[in-house]
Chain A
Amino acid sequence: MSGSNVWSRSREKFRLFPELFAQCSPEAATYGKCVSASTTGRQELKKDMCAKEFQALKTCFTNAAKRKAK
């Protein structure tokens, strides 16, 4: 496949991921701690168990993406 297609555009977008992710280390660490805490506790990991922390991470990530796009 040559030229611009959905795969090459997705890959281009993904190249930015590490840079944007690096700007959100505290939120990522909080979310990561929440998930790993649930794995050692008595309860099984369920959907949206760490939804609040994930929203914080996602907001930080999308803001970083907007700043980059400017």
Chain B
Amino acid sequence: MSTGVCLRLLQTAGSPSAASCHRWSLISGCRGMSSAGRGSMNVFNREMKRRQKNWAASLQEGNQYDYLRDEIGCRVADRVYDIARTFPLALDIGGGKSHIAEHLNKEFVERLFLTDISEKALKQRRQTEIPTHHVLADEEFLPFKENTFDLVLSSLSLHWINDLPGALRQIHQVLKPDGVFIGAMVGGETLFELRCSLQLGETEREGGFSPHVSPYTAVTDLGNLLGQAGFTMLTVDIDEVQIHYPGIIEVMTDLQGMGESNCAWNRRSMLNRDSILAAAAIYKEMYGSEDGSVPATFEILYMIGWKPHESQAKPAKRGSANVSFADLSKISQPSNTTKS
């Protein structure tokens, strides 16, 4: 019995945090490494991803699966507000139903371009007061001229891109100098509980296992990737979101409803019902909490990068200091005469 949902794992050479999985490291390629000129990485079937997103967008009750995207969209919008500027033209890459723009207002962003590979998701976009143009475009092939946008946003779509360095370079290109890119992507140890449960279940039941959860970019690589794409003044931080579900089937159903089903080329097209039963039992036993629910971890990596411009602060030249650290002790205190 096939579920039609395939979440695939590609375990990289680095071991995940769950100690029980480190022995079964299937070394089959690393994801998103910082080597330049690694151009033709083809991990994901983008056509399949478009079909999955279209399917998810046309579900009757599709909005019930949007909780994660809404929350992360809100947090990305917070980061936009933190920058005290008005952006005349902004671009939301892989924006789907426009989860970020519904939290932004006209004073901060004057015009918005919303792109996604799925036309059904664009048709269902949320209402926002910002005038929006929606464009059907692939994140890896942006149809915009250089130096167009003041702000580029991306929330939870970069983890399905095949050539991440290339996509970041394109984002850098379409930005104006002194433009900013604010992105959020899932990475690191996302869904490690699901990955390990499926791995152990399949190993015990079938003698081996195949990838079920996507390979993710590690936070340490993200800084390198952004730097190589030409961004400066980088900020990278991690947020861990843990969502509790009744069981493994609900985790997989919700991921499917979010349009996050596996679309890696190396995915197996079926999941044995015995393995699913085994994985369900293992998930509950190893990771379950007292009230019977199981957690699913999403590690969200937020990144902010700027396109260089002369007005940006640069490090001072060596030897240009005109005060000394030794002078710190001489800073006069109003009523305190003791010297430290």
Chain A partners chain B:
yes
Residues of B contacting A14 in the complex (Cβ-Cβ under 8 angstroms): 1, 3, 249
Q: With a 10 A CB-CB cut-off, give which of A10, A13, A39 has the most chain B CB atoms.
A: A39
Given A18-B247, A18-B249, A44-B23; A32-B282 close (CB under 8 Å): yes
Main secondary structure of the interface of A (DSSP, over half): helix
| Number of chain B residues whose Cβ lies closer than 8 Å to a Cβ of chain A | 30
Q: Please determine whether A17 and B204 come into contact, CB atoms closer than 8 angstroms.
A: no
A28 touches B280 (CB 8 A): yes
A45 touches B200 (CB 8 A): yes
Total A-B residue pairs with C-beta atoms closer than 8 Å?
92
Complex Cα distance, B286 from A31, in Å, reads: 11
Give A40's nearest chain B residue, CB to CB. Answer: B20
Q: Please encode chain B, from 203 to 215, with 1 for each CB lying within 8 Å of some chain A CB and 0 for all others.
A: 1111100000000
- B204 near A10 (CB under 8 angstroms)? no
Q: How many residues of A contact B (CB 8 A)?
A: 31
Q: Looking across the interface, which residue of chain B has its beta carbon closest to that of A13?
A: B1
Residues of B within 8 A of A45 (CB): 24, 200, 203-204
Per-residue interface assignment for chain B, residues 271 to 285, with 1 indicating a CB less than 8 Å from any chain A CB and 0 otherwise: 000101110111011
Known: A18-B249, A57-B277. A35 touches B1 (CB 8 A): no
Q: Output the nearest chain A residue to B18 by Cβ-Cβ distance.
A: A39
B2 at the A/B interface (Cβ < 8 Å)? Answer: yes
B66 within 8 A of A: no
Residues of chain B with a CB closer than 8 A to A29's CB: 281, 284-285
In the complex, whether A4 has a CB less than 8 A from a CB of chain B is no
Is there a chain A Cβ closer than 8 Å to B319's Cβ? no
Q: Mark A9-52, 1 if CB is under 8 A from B, else 0.
A: 01101100110010001011101110110011000111111100
CB distance from A26 to the nearest CB of B (A): 11
Contact B285 A18 (CB under 8 A): no
A interface residues (Cβ-Cβ under 8 A, vs B): 6-7, 10-11, 13-14, 17-18, 21, 25, 27-29, 31-33, 35-36, 39-40, 44-50, 54, 57-58, 61
By Cβ-Cβ distance, the 6 closest A-B pairs, closest first, are A32-B285, A39-B20, A47-B207, A28-B281, A7-B4, A32-B281
